[in-house]
Amino acid sequence: MSAGRSLHLRLLAAAAVSVTLALAVAGVVLSDLFAGHVRARQERELANHLDQLAAAVEPDASGRPALIRPLSDPRFQRPLSGLYWQVSAGDLAVLRSRSLWDAALALPGDGLTDGDLHVHQTLGPEGAPVIVAERLLRFAGGDDGRFRLAVAEANAELNRAGGEFNRTLALSLVALAGVLVVATAVQVSIGLQPLRRLRSELAEIRAGRRERFELGLAPAEIVPLIGDLNHLLEHSAEVVARARVHAGNLAHGLKTGLAVIGNELDLLDPVAAATLRPRLDDMLRQINHHLGRARAAAAAGLPGWRTEVAPVVVALRRTLLSLYADRPPAITIECSSFLTFAGEKEDLEEVLGNLLDNACKWTAGQIQVSAHTTHDGDDDEGSVGKAASQQQCDTWIKLEIEDDGPGLPEGREAEILNRGVRLDESVPGTGLGLGIVRDLTALYGGRVAFSRSSLGGLKVTVLLPESYQCAAASNFRPPQNWIYPIDIM
């Protein structure tokens, strides 16, 4: 899942960007407001100092200004304390605070008139920037008794306060941003929860543990989507069911017709019948093959097929014992009860039914069926492992059907899987059975192999994909591993 495609990441990124922007703007505005406030306060303070200075400066006998009482703030006395005052006549500093030491405030020349209070930025002692408030003072009676009174405070003070505030502000805003992003993440996670549930339900449907999406707890925005998905699921199931019914009807109609033609052939002159009979058999093979494939192909695309193996084996055994009631073979079953095939029941029945029927035809009395889970790369199944990755299947069912019959002639294994080929014409059958087994197995990405059984006859090994082992969903629960003894009649 790339970042661009994840709703989760997308929503988070958008939230992070907008939170950062909003908080940055808030930070700038707050910082400005604070700076303005501090500055106004400082100006007010400077004005107070100025008033005090004006009240403390009186002309002496020679008409020069003199400080008649010290100013209250002790910082005026401490050298380079950052708070200064100065009385100038023209450009010349005539009286200075002790804190100025031997420096003077450089006052910009401006048209200061009576009663004005001017505030400037200028340089103080040691070139440190200061803020200066100044006003004119005129002694009564003196013509030329105009003095500029100035009080200055170092900017450092102001800057320190602003810096401290900004640091605190930045820390708070970053913390706030963190909280907001986390809150958004939680919100997104809660908001996307229904989608996540939908996804896990879909996985369950694919695994066959569920038939449709749950509508119950879904939020109103998702309900129509779930409805549509359920509708789609039902629709595909219906289409398959309908196709199957049609295929069945077609098969019934065609085969009944073929039966009639076949029977009429028997009444014909044997030479004519001999030329038509193979055509008839071929038609039948074509019908069986293609109808089977069509049905299987339709079913294989559907998610959620899941078939328990054990009940199918048991039902087939019951059926075969009834069909071979003349000489009932002993059929031993060894099958873990929770083994489930990731496919359709009818397909498993076809595969197992044909193989078991074959075993029943040839057996001298003993047949063994076993079904186990096997993993990729088990013994010689390397090639199946590769097919597995395409099929998203990591476990397989290994079905082994063995009999004590005559077995296969050497080197003819490949041949018997071919459609319609029969190695022995003396035992009834159409020769289609193993072809169907091959087709169905291939459809599920599995494999068929032949070898010699320890019982003496043929051993057929089939690998089919296994579904999740989900004991909770199982209605069929005999003991963990159950074995039928050789018990039949």
Partner 1 sequence: MRVLVVEDDAALGPQLREALAGAGYAVDWAADGEEGYFHGETEPYDAVVLDLGLPKLDGLTVLRRWRKAGVAVPVIMLTARGHWHEKVEGIDAGADDYLTKPFRMEELLARVRALIRRAHGHASADLACGLVRVDTRTARVTMDGAQVSLTAHEYRVLVYLMMQKGQVVTRTELTEHIYAQDFERDSNTIQVFIARLRKKLGEGLIVTVRGLGYRMDAG
**Per rule CB under 8 A, is residue 248 in the interface with partner 1?**
yes
All residues at 6 or more sequence positions from 448 whose CB lies less than 8 Å from its CB, including other chains: 417, 434, 437, 438, 441, 460, 461, 462
Query: Please, which residues bridge with residue 448 across strands?
Result: 462
Shortest spacing between CB 199 and partner 1, in angstroms: 34
Shortest spacing between CB 293 and partner 1, in angstroms: 14
Which residues, 332 to 361, sit near partner 1 by CB under 8 A?
345-346, 349-350, 352-354
Tokens for 225, please give them: 């989507």
**Per rule CB under 8 A, is residue 200 in the interface with partner 1?**
no
* Binds partner 1 (CB under 8 A): choice among 428, 475, 479, 485: 428
Which residues, 136 to 175, sit near partner 1 by CB under 8 A?
none
* Binds partner 1 (CB under 8 A): choice among 117, 280, 330, 443: 280
- How many residues sit in the footprint of partner 1 (CB under 8 A)? 36
**Per rule CB under 8 A, is residue 263 in the interface with partner 1?**
yes
**Per rule CB under 8 A, is residue 461 in the interface with partner 1?**
no
Shortest spacing between CB 337 and partner 1, in angstroms: 19
- Of 15 and 254, which has the nearer Cβ to partner 1? 254
Which residues, 307 to 336, sit near partner 1 by CB under 8 A?
315-316, 318-319, 322-323, 325-326
- Of 179 and 260, which has the nearer Cβ to partner 1? 260
Shortest spacing between CB 463 and partner 1, in angstroms: 19
- Beta strand pairing call for 65-67 and 146-154: unpaired
Residue 83: alpha-carbon gap to chain centroid: 64
- Of 106 and 323, which has the nearer Cβ to partner 1? 323
- Of 177 and 302, which has the nearer Cβ to partner 1? 302
- Of 41 and 252, which has the nearer Cβ to partner 1? 252
* Binds partner 1 (CB under 8 A): choice among 284, 331, 335, 448: 284
- Of 129 and 328, which has the nearer Cβ to partner 1? 328
* Binds partner 1 (CB under 8 A): choice among 82, 129, 162, 262: 262
User: Which among 182-190, 248-256, 379-387, 460-468 is the span making contact with partner 1, rule CB under 8 A?
Assistant: 248-256
- Of 29 and 261, which has the nearer Cβ to partner 1? 261
Shortest spacing between CB 389 and partner 1, in angstroms: 31
**Per rule CB under 8 A, is residue 272 in the interface with partner 1?**
no
**Per rule CB under 8 A, is residue 427 in the interface with partner 1?**
no
Shortest spacing between CB 191 and partner 1, in angstroms: 47
Which residues, 25 to 64, sit near partner 1 by CB under 8 A?
none
Report whether 71 contacts 77 (CB < 8 A): no
- Of 126 and 266, which has the nearer Cβ to partner 1? 266
* Binds partner 1 (CB under 8 A): choice among 11, 94, 222, 258: 258
Query: Please, which residues bridge with residue 89 across strands?
Result: 92
The CA-atom distances, in angstroms, between 208 and each of 94, 211, 462 are 100, 7, 22
- DSSP collapsed to 3 states, the chain: CCHHHCHHHHHHHHHHHHHHHHHHHHHHHHHHHHHHHHHHHHHHHHHHHHHHHHHHEEECCCCCEEECCCCCCHHHCCCCCCEEEEEEECCEEEEECHHHCCCCCCCCCCCCCCCCCEEEEEECHHHCEEEEEEEEEECCCCCCCEEEEEEEEEHHHHHHHHHHHHHHHHHHHHHHHHHHHHHHHHHHHHHHHHHHHHHHHHHHHHHCCCCCCCCCCCCCCCHHHHHHHHHHHHHHHHHHHHHHHHHHHHHHHHHHHHHHHHHHHHHCCHHHHHHHHHHHHHHHHHHHHHHHHHHHHHHHCCCCCCEEHHHHHHHHHHHHHHHCCCCCCEEEEEEECCCEECCCHHHHHHHHHHHHHHHHHHCCCEEEEEEEEEECCCCCCHHHHHHHHHHCCCEEEEEEEEECCCCCCCCCHHHHCCCCCCCCCCCCCCCCHHHHHHHHHHHCCCEEEEEECCCCCEEEEEEEEECCCCHHHCCCCCCCEEECCCCCC
User: Which among 6-14, 40-48, 73-81, 253-261 is the span making contact with partner 1, rule CB under 8 A?
Assistant: 253-261
Rounded Cα distance, 182 and 15, in Å: 10
**Per rule CB under 8 A, is residue 278 in the interface with partner 1?**
no
Shortest spacing between CB 195 and partner 1, in angstroms: 39
Rounded Cα distance, 148 and 10, in Å: 64
**Per rule CB under 8 A, is residue 86 in the interface with partner 1?**
no
Shortest spacing between CB 361 and partner 1, in angstroms: 14
Shortest spacing between CB 297 and partner 1, in angstroms: 16
- Of 325 and 472, which has the nearer Cβ to partner 1? 325
Q: Which residues bind partner 1 (CB under 8 A)?
A: 248, 251-256, 258-264, 266, 280, 284, 288, 291, 315-316, 318-319, 322-323, 325-326, 345-346, 349-350, 352-354, 428, 430
